[in-house]
Structure 1
Amino acid sequence: MMTQKQKTILIYAIPAVLLGIPLLGNIFFEEFDWSPGDFIIGAVLLFGTALIIDLIQRIIKNKTYKILLSGALLIVLLLVWAELAVGIFGTPFAGN
Structure 2
Amino acid sequence: MVAWGSAALLILLPLLAMQVTNQVNWGVFDFVAAALLIGGAGLGWELALRLTRSRAWRAAIALALAAAFLLTWAELAVGVFGR
User: TM-score scaled by structure 1?
Assistant: 0.79
Count of equivalent residues = 83
Answer yes or no: is 1:68 the counterpart of 2:60: yes
Letter in 1 for 2:41: T
Letter in 2 for 1:82: A
User: 1:21-52 CA distances to partner (integer Å, 9 max, x unpaired)?
Assistant: 21111121111110011101110111111011
> Which of 18, 23, 27 is matched with 1:31 structurally?
23
SS at match of 1:51: helix
Q: How far did 1:15 drift?
A: 1.8
Letter in 2 for 1:35: G
Greater helix fraction, Structure 1 or Structure 2: 2
Higher relative contact order (CA 8 A, sep 6+): 2
Gaps of 5+ in 2: none
Q: Percent identity?
A: 33
Cα root mean square deviation, aligned: 1.3
User: TM-score scaled by structure 2?
Assistant: 0.90
Gaps of 5+ in 1: 1-8, 92-96
Q: How far did 1:14 drift?
A: 3.0
